[in-house]
């Protein structure tokens, strides 16, 4: 686990009074593509939230490299359509973590967003209202926002849920390109095993209160 | 009607004071509407009014000059508004119930407390009732200066934290991943709302404050503009409603507050109707 930007060592994960996952040990390796699979309620989201640092382990530990930056792509349904934001505005949020509140946004932040939108194939529709974009287009915008944070690890929560097959393939291709081009470690929660099986390096199966990792040939 | 814009106009302070309160509430109201805090927009002004009634009841109206009475009332409004906010934040940390339930409870308590304190007040019901309704026409130079100073402070903080406020409002979990603590910036927003509501209730009354926290933002959001333009349009609607409303109420000899609110409501309905018609024809 020495080179891992993020490692979980013998951690019990869950919430006070509710253990969800027991004795989890795993390491996120640089540049790998991992699918996190499991039934509804199996603990996938708890694992993701623990990796993000939103949930503290009940026992054991989660170690993060000091320079770790996680790009997080939430389920798009969690975002409110009524905000008057364009796709580009949403992607721009990814750069705000680096700018103190009293400073104006530097030009470099805007060019970073342009690059991120290009990398996700989202530039052509980025000027449209976020609320008016299709599910697949919104997902690309959210991935671009995560990229704009300049992450070393990308965590995605069901990025292909509710999108058509063509959009799903396009999103998975874009992720594979990002992994290759930028050396990003990508962990993605999904229900679609068929769609990801041939694209990922490992599968993390979450079931019966445990996480089992399978290497892909 | 143009005389109300003259510097020598008798009720200049009322026009300017009402305008400041309406614009302040309209801009902050964009977040009240987007974050579905409308019930908070009713409960906090009512808590402020309960605070005014409480201090007047507790001190027996022995405040000397009208200026001192205003200062005492402002203290009561601020204390009650921030107590209500504090209770909501503290209870929210331990509760799994929706926040609307706690806000509803605070609203019910504040409404009944206001009526009880007015009823129990030994003297000066009239003065207290006029303070509770807001005293636009009685704003002194000193009150206006205080109002302008508080409003400027709120505006500066709002502009300084504009990015953080949007970030934690739109996507609090993403904000956490980039090092912006949603709790901290929610607190900034609540403090700004609390301060604006306290001083607004004192100046224009709870009805005007609540209405301007909601109506201009609803109208501006219907237009589908950018975030910055939404704030600007909400402020413009508040300006038109308050200055225009004062002119209308002055001419027709009607109470200013309800006319402000009706004008803002007419603008909201007109914008909504126009946007619906545009969408149908597109």
Across the range B56-83, mean pLDDT stands at 77
pLDDT (mean) for B121-143: 71
Binding-face residues of B in 34-73 toward A, CB within 8 A: 34
Q: What pLDDT score does B239 carry? A: 97
Judge whether residue B135 has pLDDT over 80: no
Min distance A217 CA to chain B CA atoms (Å): 33
Asked if A96's CB is within 8 angstroms of B180's CB, the reply is yes
Q: Quote the ipTM score.
A: 0.90
- pLDDT, residue B142, reads 86
Is the CB of A145 less than 8 angstroms away from the CB of B174? yes
CA distances to B89, B103, B109, B203 from B97, in Å: 13, 11, 18, 34
How sure is the predictor about A216, in pLDDT bands with cuts at 50, 70 and 90?
A: confident
In chain A, domain spans = 1-68+152-217, 83-151
**Could you report the per-residue pLDDT of B3-41, keeping only the tens digit for each?**
766 777 778 888 999 999 999 999 999 999 999 988 988
Q: What does DSSP assign to residue B253?
A: T
Is it true that domain B2-275 has CATH number 3.40.1010.10? no
pLDDT of residue B5: 67
Residue A101 has its nearest CB partner, among B34, B163, B225, at B163
Please judge whether B174 and A99 are an interchain contact, meaning their C-beta atoms are less than 8 angstroms apart: no
**Chain B interface, best mutation among A93, A110, A143, A151, by max B CB count within 10 A:** A93
Judge whether residue B61 has pLDDT over 70.
no
* Interchain CB distance below 8 Å, A83 and B167: no
Of A54, A83, A94, the CB nearest to B173: A54
The answer, for B179 touching chain A at a CB cutoff of 8 Å, is: yes
Q: State whether B160 and A74 contact (CB < 8 Å).
A: no
> Does B230 sit within 8 Å of A93, measured CB to CB?
no
A144: which chain B residues are within 8 Å (Cβ-Cβ)? Answer: none
Are B234 and B216 a contacting pair, CB within 8 Å? Answer: yes
Interface of A with B in 45-104 (CB under 8 A): 52-54, 70-72, 74, 78-80, 82-86, 89-90, 93-94, 96-97, 99, 101-102
| pLDDT score recorded for residue B173 | 92
pLDDT at B151 over 90: yes
Helix (H) or strand (E) holding B187: helix B182-204
Burial of A208 (0-12, 13-18, 19+ CB in 10 A): exposed
The pLDDT tens digits of the residues spanning B84-118 come to 988 887 776 667 778 888 889 999 999 999 888 88
Chain A touched by B171 (CB under 8 Å): yes
Tell me whether B275 touches chain A (CB under 8 Å): no
- Higher-pLDDT residue of B204 and B124 is B204
Considering only CB atoms, A96 lies closest to which of B178, B221, B230, namely B178
What are the DSSP calls for chain A, one per residue? -TT-SEEEEEEEEEETTEEEEEEEEEEEPTT-EEEEE--TTSSHHHHHHHHHTSS--SEEEEEE-TT--EEEE--GGGS-TTS--BHHHHHHGGGGGGS-TTSPPPHHHHHHHHHHHHHTT-GGGTTSBGGGS-HHHHHHHHHHHHHTT--SEEEEESTTTT--HHHHHHHHHHHHHHHHHH--EEEEE-S-HHHHTTT-SEEEEEETTEEEEEE--
Residue B198 pLDDT class (50, 70, 90 cuts): confident
Share of residues in chain A with pLDDT > 90 (%): 61
pLDDT tens-digit readout, A85-137: 999 999 999 999 989 988 999 999 999 999 999 988 899 999 999 999 988 89
Q: Using CA coordinates, name the residue in chain B closest to A88.
A: B226
pLDDT digit string, tens, across residues A34-71: 999 999 889 999 999 999 999 999 999 999 998 899 99
Distance CA(B44)–CA(B52), nearest Å, equals 12
Of B161, B167, B226, the CB nearest to A84: B226
Domain A1-68+152-217, CATH: 3.40.50.300
Minimum Cα–Cα distance from B162: chain A residue: A101
Interchain contact A22–B (C-beta under 8 A): no
Q: What values do phi and psi take at A90, rounded to 5?
A: -65, -45
Contact B176 A102 (CB under 8 A): no
Helix (H), strand (E) at residue B15: helix B12-34
- Model confidence pLDDT, tens digit, residues A165-200: 888 888 888 888 888 888 899 999 988 888 888 888
Torsion on CA atoms A110, A116, A121, A124, rounded to nearest 10: -10
What global pTM score does this model have?
0.88
pLDDT value for A23? 93
C-alpha pair distances (Å), B182 with each of B85, B135, B153, B192 = 16, 36, 22, 15
Higher pLDDT pick, B18 / B203: B18
Place B71 in a pLDDT band, splitting at 50, 70 and 90: confident
Parallel, antiparallel or unpaired: strands A18-28 and A70-73? unpaired
pLDDT digits (tens, 9 = 90+) for B209-257: 999 999 999 999 999 999 999 999 999 999 999 999 999 998 999 989 9
């Amino acid at each position: 686990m020495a080179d891992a930007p993020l490692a979980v060592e013998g951690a019990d994960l869950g919430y006070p009074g509710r253990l969800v996952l027991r004795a989890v040990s795993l390491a996120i390796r640089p540049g790998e593509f991992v699918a996190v699979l499991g039934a509804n309620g199996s603990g996938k989201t708890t694992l993701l939230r623990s990796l993000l640092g939103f949930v503290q382990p009940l026992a054991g530990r989660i170690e993060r490299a000091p320079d770790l930056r996680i790009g997080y792509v939430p389920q798009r349904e969690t975002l409110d359509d009524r905000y008057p934001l364009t796709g580009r505005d949403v992607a721009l949020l990814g750069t705000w973590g680096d700018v103190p509140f009293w400073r104006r946004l530097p030009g470099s932040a805007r060019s970073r967003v342009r690059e991120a939108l290009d990398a996700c194939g989202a530039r052509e529709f980025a000027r449209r209202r976020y609320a008016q974009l299709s599910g697949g287009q919104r997902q690309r915008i959210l991935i671009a926002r995560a990229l704009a944070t300049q992450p070393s690890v990308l965590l995605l929560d069901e990025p292909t849920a509710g999108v058509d097959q063509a959009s799903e393939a396009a999103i998975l291709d874009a992720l594979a390109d990002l992994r290759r081009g930028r050396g990003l470690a990508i962990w993605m929660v999904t229900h679609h095993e068929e769609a990801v099986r041939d694209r990922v390096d490992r599968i993390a199966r979450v079931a019966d209160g445990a996480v089992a990792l399978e290497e892909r040939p | 009607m143009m005389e109300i814009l003259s510097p020598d106009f008798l009720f200049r302070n009322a026009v300017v004071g009402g305008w400041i309160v309406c614009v302040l509430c309209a801009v902050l109201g964009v977040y009240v509407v987007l974050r579905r805090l409308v019930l908070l927009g009713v409960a906090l002004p009512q808590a402020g009014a309960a605070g005014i009634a409480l201090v007047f009841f507790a001190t027996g109206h022995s405040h000397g000059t009208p200026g001192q009475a205003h200062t005492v009332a402002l203290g009561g409004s601020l204390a009650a508004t921030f107590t209500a906010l504090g209770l909501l934040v503290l209870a929210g940390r331990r509760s799994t119930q929706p926040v609307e339930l706690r806000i509803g409870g605070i609203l019910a308590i504040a409404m009944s407390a206001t009526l009880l304190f007015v009823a129990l007040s030994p003297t000066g019901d009239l003065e207290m009732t006029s303070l509770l309704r807001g005293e636009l026409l009685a704003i002194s130079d000193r009150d206006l200066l205080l109002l302008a100073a508080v409003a400027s402070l709120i505006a500066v903080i709002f502009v300084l934290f504009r990015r953080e406020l949007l970030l934690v409002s739109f996507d609090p979990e993403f904000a956490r991943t980039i090092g912006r603590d949603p709790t901290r910036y929610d607190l900034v927003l609540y403090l700004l709302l609390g301060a604006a509501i306290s001083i607004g209730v004192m100046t224009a009354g709870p009805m005007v404050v609540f209405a301007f926290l909601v109506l201009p933002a609803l109208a501006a959001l219907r237009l589908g503009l950018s975030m910055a333009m939404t704030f600007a349009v909400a402020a413009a609607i508040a300006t038109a409603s308050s200055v225009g409303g004062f002119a209308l109420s002055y001419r027709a000899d009607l109470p200013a507050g309800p006319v402000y609110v009706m004008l803002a409501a007419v603008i909201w309905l007109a914008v909504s109707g126009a946007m619906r018609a545009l969408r149908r024809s597109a």
